[in-house]
Chains A and B, each alone.
Chain A
């Protein structure tokens, strides 16, 4: 069983990190950095304003970057018949989805946390704000990954699934965004704790909701 999980994780990582045509992990990072780069151009070089709002911009950019790979998370594997082959071998949809959440997080969470370093320099954030942003991303991105995979499984096979999944993720990611970006204000620790709590809830639900969605799509 461990060998099978390892094989699944290795395949998922190869697809999501290096990802051939999809651009892999590079595309969300470049998107994230370009938002952080464009923001000072748009609002002007007012350093105090940038420093005050920069943390929130990083959060919004991270949320939008997490949406980019959604359409290739689940649907191609259903189309190729891989989920059917796994089911025949007794590998449950829940297990595959759980592994995919981990792989999806590894492919965008840590890269975004690294990219937040140059982004914070572009926005002129101070060390303390950067520390809170990084901790918040660490607590929040696993939830975004779980949410992304769940929604990708729910919208697989639907017409316009890619656009629809983006629209579905955004409202459901609001709690993570509010608590994560809110932790930059007063009483930050409780915001971080609530971000982590929202992430854990999403992580706990994702394998079951995603697995049920894949089985329902099989019809």
Chain B
């Protein structure tokens, strides 16, 4: 099994001319999950984007070992395409894998264009894309937004299974995320 780890050292994040947080150090090893909590605008999404390598760190270092999968507010699925075709595109990119469509309750929606899906359905579709990617490191930005109670439980269970298989999950959410053994980091302690 491929190694997976995240090591963040003394990280500071700047957005515009404001420092959002500084002096952030964290380490996640195989099978660990961490929730980043904090109020709106405190830098949760920015932290995930820096860990993903999509945004530059203002100072400090980030080292990620293992392939990265990201869910943010954009499902990255063609809105004009039916869900099945939009997911099939990512299957061809990632190599064919099981998207667990039945479990996510998407089997009946494959003919529906993505633009007609509800917020929660799009979120579940993004989860299906993430599962198909087989990434070792999951970065989830507000994964519970727009999900009903049943889908929230399902998401928590999927993250638990991912970690049980040796994966890592970094979850940014202001909602409670119920996962046994999950660490919790209050970003407010590092606010500049």
Query: Interface residues, chain A, CB within 8 Å of chain B?
Result: 3-4, 6-8, 10-11, 15, 20-21, 79-82, 84-89, 91, 218-219
For residue A91, which residues in chain B have a CB less than 8 angstroms away from its CB? 93
The stretch that binds A, out of B71-79, B103-111, B170-178, B179-187, is B71-79
Q: Determine the residue in chain A with the shortest Cβ distance to B135.
A: A88
CA distance A89 to B93 in the complex (A): 9
B52 within 8 A of A: yes
B180 to chain A, nearest CB (A): 28
B-side interface mostly: loop
Q: Is there contact, CB below 8 Å, between A21 and B80? A: yes
Which of B72, B89, B92, B95 makes the CB contact (< 8 A) with A81?
Answer: B72
Query: How many residue pairs, one in A and one in B, have C-beta atoms under 8 Å apart?
Result: 55
CA distance A79 to B94 in the complex (A): 21
Whether B70 and A79, one on each chain, are in contact in the complex, defined by CB atoms closer than 8 angstroms, is: no
Q: Check B188 for interface membership: any CB of A closer than 8 A.
A: no
B93 touches A4 (CB 8 A): yes
CA of A51 to CA of B133, assembled, Å: 58
Does B69 have its Cβ within 8 Å of any Cβ on chain A? yes
A88 touching B70, Cβ below 8 Å: yes
Q: Are B54 and A7 in contact (CB under 8 A)?
A: no
Nearest-Cβ distance from residue A107 to partner chain B, whole angstroms? 16
Q: Report A-chain residues with C-beta under 8 Å of the C-beta of B55.
A: 218-219
From A21, A80, A87, A219, B74 is in contact (CB under 8 Å) with: A80
B78 in contact with A15 (CB, 8 Å) = yes
CA distance A88 to B92 in the complex (A): 15
Interchain CB contact under 8 A, A11 and B68 = no
Q: Smallest distance from the beta carbon of B74 to chain A beta carbons, Å?
A: 4
For residue A88, which residues in chain B have a CB less than 8 angstroms away from its CB?
52-54, 67-70, 135
Interface residues of B (CB under 8 A from A): 52-55, 67-70, 72, 74-80, 89-90, 92-95, 133, 135
Complex contacts, A82 vs chain B, CB 8 Å: 76
A85→B70 contact, CB < 8 A: yes
Are A87's CB and B53's CB within 8 A?
yes
In the assembly, what is the distance between CA of A79 and CA of B76, in Å? Answer: 9
Q: How far is the CA of A91 from the CA of B96 in the complex (A)?
A: 17
B94–A89 touching, CB < 8 Å: yes
Q: Bound state CA distance, A80 and B74, in angstroms? A: 6
Interface centre among B55, B67, B75, B93 (most CB of A within 10 A): B93
Q: With a CB–CB cut-off of 8 A, which chain A residues contact B90? A: 85
> Closest 7 interchain pairs by CB?
A81-B74, A7-B92, A20-B80, A81-B76, A85-B76, A88-B68, A82-B76
Chain A residues positioned under 8 Å from B78 (CB to CB): 11, 15, 80
Contacts of A21 in B (CB 8 A): 80
A-B CB contact pairs (8 Å), 8 listed:
A7-B93, A15-B80, A20-B80, A84-B76, A85-B70, A85-B76, A88-B135, A89-B67
CB distance from A77 to the nearest CB of B (A): 9
Contact B76 A4 (CB under 8 A): no
- How far is the CB of A27 from the nearest CB of chain B, in Å? 16
